[in-house]
Amino acid sequence: MTSSKYSGKAADPAPEQADEREKLIGLGKRSISKSYYPELKSRLDELEHFRALLDRVNDAIFVVDADTGLILDISGAADSFLGCDTGHLRGLLFKDILPPHIRRHADNLFHNETKTVRMETEFFRPTCPDNSSIPVDLTLSLVSFQDRRQAIIVARDISDRKRTERALKRSHDQLELRVRERTRELDRANRAKSEFLSTVSHELRTPLTAVLGFAKITSKKLVSTIFPAVAQTADPHVKKEMEVVRKNLEIIAGEGRRLTLLINDVLDLAKMEANRVEYVMAPVQPETFIRRTVEVTSALFDDTDLSLRLDIEPDLPEVNGDTDRLMQVMVNLFSNAVKFTTRGTVTCAARLENDAVRISVTDTGMGIRPELLESIFEEFTQVGEHLSNRPTGTGLGLTICKHIVEDHGGRIWAESRIGQGSTFTFSLPVPQES
């Protein structure tokens, strides 16, 4: 890069300027260096052409004395950057066009061990009335030239990018605001739904208890007192009607019990979604609540062709949990295994893996289609919902299991192969010793 004396925009200097330039550097026609004139003139023209090309780039190029911080030369688009004649900037301190928070540390830019520094900053416009600034992406490289340290600084105008970033940030902020508002609306709707379900469930529970109670009393009176008395004199048609009444009462009692289970599940789920469940957390041995669950669910395996097998790793560490709630999870998993398995084995296994106890219940039943493995943990979803003879259930059991396990800091998932059975596994973290 030539000195400022010869800087300019023109690719080809005027003849009189060229003659004057040649005389100044000893290349006139009467010079003793006349034999080198053609080659040196060619080199000088190339430098002028290169300088003209530099002045046409979109970046601003500064040459700064690294020891004094003075601007020695400027090329490129600096004039359009700063809105002034670049000639006014030569001899000024480079830090004078930097923002105050960078200006205080400008000397460090020229005295660092890293040869190249890149940063985003601003250039101030010293000739503008409002001393406005322009954002730039700046690259500074330290070089040595004739035993002098110089800094070559290339700056690129990033005003368009900054405007785009500001626009994106505004859009992002607006989107976040809408998301927060929508989330609040959904939370309100979810609370309203939970409160509605809780209220309706409580209101249903009282009359349902009365219906079940009177159905049991009526059935007991009919079977023990009325039916024997009537049967002595009744004709075959009356006896047939008596049997229909007895079966209808059994249906009322059975459906009432099923509705009671549904109401209890809905109440549980409503409390869990509203974070109103109070867990009685205490150290518990996994084998303890597993074996207690086996005891209370033994009736599930009566009158079936299923066998239950336990495969519990000895000396499992304690987990922190609510025993009754963890047993509720196990009861649901055992119940589902029995519902969807006609013959074979139900296996309950417990293992320590990494820092968690994994408990699984595996059956040899019908299996679950791959696309349902995630959705079965959603509300009112049942594995056999497309079967004509599907087992009865509320469709909330696995959803409640998921809430309980996650409230214990664990997770639950399912694996299955059609026709070969399913495995439901949940993990419980082992407390770390402090």
Q: What is the pLDDT along the chain (434 residues), one digit of tens a residue?
A: 444 333 434 444 555 555 555 555 555 555 545 566 666 666 666 666 556 655 566 788 888 998 898 999 888 777 777 777 767 788 888 888 888 878 877 777 888 777 788 888 888 876 666 667 888 899 898 888 778 889 989 888 888 888 999 999 999 999 999 999 999 998 888 778 777 777 777 777 778 888 888 888 888 888 888 878 777 776 788 878 888 888 888 888 888 887 887 787 777 777 787 777 889 999 999 999 999 999 989 888 988 889 999 999 999 999 999 999 999 999 999 999 998 898 899 999 999 998 999 999 999 998 998 888 888 888 766 655 444 344 455 678 899 999 999 999 999 999 999 989 999 999 999 998 75
Q: Give the span between the Cα atoms of 247 and 250, in whole angstroms.
A: 5
DSSP string, 295-349: HHTGGGGTTSEEEEEEEE-TTPPPEEE-HHHHHHHHHHHHHHHHHT-SEEEEEEE
**Could you tell me if 125 and 171 lie in one domain?**
no
Say if 434 falls within a structural domain.
Answer: no
Task: Compute the distance between CA of residue 132 and CA of residue 84 in angstroms, rounded to an integer.
Answer: 12
Cβ atoms 102, 138 nearer than 8 A: no
Rg of the chain in Å (alpha carbons): 43
- CATH number, domain containing residue 355: 3.30.565.10
CA distance 233 to 166: 94
Q: Is 256 part of a structural domain of the chain?
A: yes
- The Cα–Cα gap between 400 and 325 comes to 10
Residue 409 located in a structural domain: yes
Query: Does one domain contain both 264 and 178?
Result: yes
pLDDT at 380: 67
Q: Are residues 307 and 236 in the same domain?
A: no
71 within some domain: yes
Do 289 and 396 lie in a common domain?
Answer: yes
Q: Say yes or no: 183 and 288 in one domain.
A: no
In this prediction, residue 422 carries a pLDDT of: 95
CATH number of residue 96's parent domain: 3.30.450.20
Q: Which of 131, 159, 187 delimits the end of a domain?
A: 159
Residue 389's pLDDT is 44
Q: What is the pLDDT of residue 427?
A: 96
The verdict on 292 and 181 lying in the same domain is no
Residues 62 and 12 in one domain: yes
Whether 399 contacts 265, CB under 8 Å: no
Q: Considering the domain boundaries, does residue 302 fall inside one?
A: yes
Are 422 and 320 in the same domain? yes
Domain boundary (141, 159, 177) is at 159
Residues 137 and 43 in one domain: yes
Say how many residues make up the chain.
434
Q: What total number of domains does the chain contain?
A: 3
In a domain, 248, yes or no: yes
Same domain, 15 and 102: yes
Would 371 be classed as within a structural domain? yes
Structure tokens at 343: 């013959």
Query: What domain range includes position 34?
Result: 4-159
The answer to whether residues 95 and 216 belong to one domain is: no
Last residue of a domain, one of 225, 249, 273: 273
User: Minimal CA–CA distance to 115: which of 95, 139, 93?
Assistant: 139
Let me know if 430 is exposed, middle or buried by CB neighbors in 10 A (0-12, 13-18, 19+).
middle
- Domain presence at residue 88: yes
Are 66 and 151 a contacting pair, CB within 8 Å?
yes
Domain match, 239 and 345 both: no
Give the pLDDT confidence score for residue 415 in this predicted structure.
95
